[in-house]
Copies of this chain bind each other. A is one copy, B any other.
Amino acid sequence: MDSLFDRLFPICRSITGEGLRETLNILSGYIPLEHFGVKSDTEVFDWIIPKEWVIRDAILKGPDNKIIADFKINNLHVLNYSDSVDSVIDLEELQQHLHSIPNLPTAIPYVISYYKRRWGFCISHEEREQLKPGKYHAYIDSEFIDGELNFSHAILPGESKREILISTYVCHPSMANNELSGPISAVFLYQRLARKQRRFTYRFVFLPETIGSISYLHRFGEELRQNIYAGLVLTCLGGNRSLSYKMSRRGDSPIDLMWTHLNDTNVFNGQTRIFTPDGGSDERQYCSPGFNLPVGQMARTVYGEYAGYHNSLDTKAEMTIESLYSSVNEMEILIEAVEWDGYYINNSPYGEVKLDKYGLYPDMNAAGVTKQLSSNNLNDNRIQLSRILNILNYSDGEHTLREIASKCNASILDLIPIVKLLLDKELISGPYDERRDIL
């Protein structure tokens, strides 16, 4: 993770352009991506793909020729999607083109202007306050060309065509938590899942935020609508907080329900956010009313809730690679639980199964109240027996394993080994995605 981070961090990404393509190509070294491009000026639903932004240099010099902002030192210094400029102007006029954050005086802000042409520089407020009257030379060598918007995906096939979508964005320049935490976690989650038997097919998507997911939906929306079982948008997965999940618009996607279950049963100790269409990431597009896909969003240190959000304080030191590792671990658990959830069918549903035939029941029975002190040395493992009986009784095609776990006051993770045992003895079949009749 660390070396991937270091390769990706310096690149100046935007919603189009060379930085975006370079990022997708680097990711290709870790995950078998298929690449796609949409030509500039193409209509995608209510939007139009903008010209591709070429940024070669940006430098702001003061009256004494001192360099105030240099794109080559920190790519946040240039307004993202800035127009070109080469002018010597007064400080007063320059101020209209400067961006800084008064209450974070050392931070260089990240500012964008994708759809309205303007030029600008971003500097720390500290530095800005020291600017003296005089002539400033603003030089930005950028260009808008007919090019394309790029995105990529990798499909990891499973037993079923039903898909779990993992989507993340790659359009911010040098930021850690709010840019690289998502794609790096996605890459490593992919590698974990690739080594396992999978019930579901997994679709990993890397794209520029908003316009990228709208373009992706324009191309693959119908396919998603048909196949998607659940999905996650990954963003801001670093930091030392607990996981924070934003529910899908439906509020009852398999991942929504599993997230709640795993928190209710203390497997996780996360934060839950309800769905809102204002604020957030690409779940806003996946959950637009024409699609309404069962896609939530997973984060840890949520956008807008930390000092480094959208500025130069968002670094690897603040994000930490360790936290990404935890995020991948926890998402793997969440997905494992979703893989085993679903409906099961008891193959001997009339009366109880005669468990001792299968080695699952004590063959002599004394009173439960006295079992611990009883002189007969039965160790009948009452908890396992109770779980077996609950799973068999509720494997009726109408209760999910998650619901059965709740009836057992257990987490679904506690039941997975027993389900494997009962599947192995052919006492039950499943899991099935949908309800089904027992007969």
Identify the A interface with B (CB < 8 A). Answer: 44-47, 98-104, 109-113, 115-116, 118, 125, 128, 210, 213-214, 217-218, 221, 249, 276-279, 284-285, 287-292, 304-305, 307, 309-311, 346, 348-354, 356-357, 363-370, 373-376, 385-386, 389-390, 392-396, 407, 438-439
Q: How far is the CA of A307 from the CA of B373 in the complex (A)?
A: 13
Question: B111, A304: Cβ atoms under 8 Å?
Answer: no
Partner pick for A102 among B112, B214, B290, B375, CB 8 A cutoff = B375
A111-B364, A277-B390, A289-B438 given; name 13 further pairs at CB < 8 Å: A45-B351, A99-B366, A101-B374, A103-B370, A111-B376, A113-B363, A116-B356, A214-B351, A277-B389, A290-B346, A290-B350, A310-B369, A310-B370
Which residue from chain B places its CB closest to the CB of A217 in the assembled complex?
B351
* Given A365-B112, A390-B277, A103 and B373 contact (CB-CB distance below 8 Å): yes
A259 to chain B, nearest CB (A): 20
Q: How far is the CA of A210 from the CA of B102 in the complex (A)?
A: 71
Question: B290, A101: Cβ atoms under 8 Å?
Answer: no
A116 to chain B, nearest CB (A): 4
Question: B367, A310: Cβ atoms under 8 Å?
Answer: yes
Q: How far is the CA of A47 from the CA of B356 in the complex (A)?
A: 10
Q: Which residues of B contact A370 (CB under 8 A)?
A: 101, 103-104, 109, 310-311
Question: A368, B287: Cβ atoms under 8 Å?
Answer: no
Determine chain A's interface SS by DSSP, over half rule. loop
Question: A367, B45: Cβ atoms under 8 Å?
Answer: no
Q: Which residues of B contact A289 (CB under 8 A)?
A: 346, 349, 392-396, 438
Can you name 17 A-B residue pairings with CB atoms under 8 Å? A46-B348, A46-B353, A110-B366, A111-B366, A113-B364, A213-B351, A218-B351, A221-B350, A277-B389, A278-B385, A284-B352, A289-B394, A290-B438, A291-B350, A310-B367, A311-B367, A311-B370
Q: Which residues of B contact A386 (CB under 8 A)?
A: 276, 278-279
Which residue from chain B places its CB closest to the CB of A385 in the assembled complex?
B278
Which residue from chain B places its CB closest to the CB of A284 in the assembled complex?
B352
Q: How far is the CA of A407 from the CA of B277 in the complex (A)?
A: 10
Partner pick for A304 among B99, B278, B369, B439, CB 8 A cutoff = B369
Q: How far is the CA of A354 from the CA of B45 in the complex (A)?
A: 9
* Given A304-B367, A351-B45, A363-B116, A389 and B278 contact (CB-CB distance below 8 Å): yes
